[in-house]
Amino acid sequence: MNKEEMTQDQTETEIHDEEVVEDSVEESLTEEQQRMQELEAKLEEANQKNLRLQADYDNFRRRTREEQAASLKYKSQSLLEQLLPALDNFERALKTEATHEQAKPLIQGMEMVYRQLVEALKQEGLSEVPTVGETFDPNMHQAVMQVEDSEYESNTVIEELQKGYMLKDRVIRPAMVKVNA
């Protein structure tokens, strides 16, 4: 082998080596790019999962606040429902007339206690369901009788048989009423 052939061989080897190096660099780059894309996809997935978790947590906090507010708003409902029969009995007792002079102060005392009880219940949010003259509403009224009366329009409450009550915006006892047919 002469010098020229050796130089040519060397040049070919160098070129071949450079091509191999370039191929391995390109391979490395594509592997690195592929790895970067995988990592970016995992990062995006983790970000999306984090956003969903944050939204779930925010919804949980909102629901909890709403439940607490509703619980506070209607906290006295059970007690009020238990007091309604006593309130009815007070009203019945006050409708009786005193025939003896000695009973009049007793009735006046009962009226004072009744007014205080009614005022305390109103402060808790209790109110009466409107009845006579109102259009019958099955959400607020319980029709126990139906009559025909020309003085009233059809489907109008003409008499209240038992008072109904609402706690704020919730009916806790519908009014028992007589309705015009």
Q: Quick one: pLDDT at residue 161? A: 92
Nearest to 178 by CA among 158, 153, 163: 158
Rounded distance, CA 51 to CA 60, Å?
A: 14
pLDDT digits (tens, 9 = 90+) for 60-104: 999 999 888 877 777 888 888 999 999 999 898 888 887 788 888
Q: Quick one: pLDDT at residue 141? A: 94
Rounded distance, CA 47 to CA 52, Å?
A: 9
Give, for all 181 residues of the chain, the pLDDT tens digit: 556 666 666 666 666 666 655 666 667 678 888 889 999 999 999 999 999 999 999 999 999 998 888 777 778 888 889 999 999 998 988 888 877 888 888 888 889 999 999 999 999 899 999 999 899 999 999 999 998 888 888 889 999 999 999 998 899 999 999 998 8
Domain ranges of the chain: 1-73, 77-180
Q: Quick one: pLDDT at residue 100? A: 82
Q: Global pTM?
A: 0.60
Q: How far is CA 107 from CA 88, 115, 118, 161, in A?
A: 16, 12, 16, 23
Region 77-180: CATH code: 2.30.22.10
Q: Quick one: pLDDT at residue 74? A: 77
- Contact status, residue 179 vs residue 136, Cβ threshold 8 Å: yes
Q: Quick one: pLDDT at residue 13? A: 64
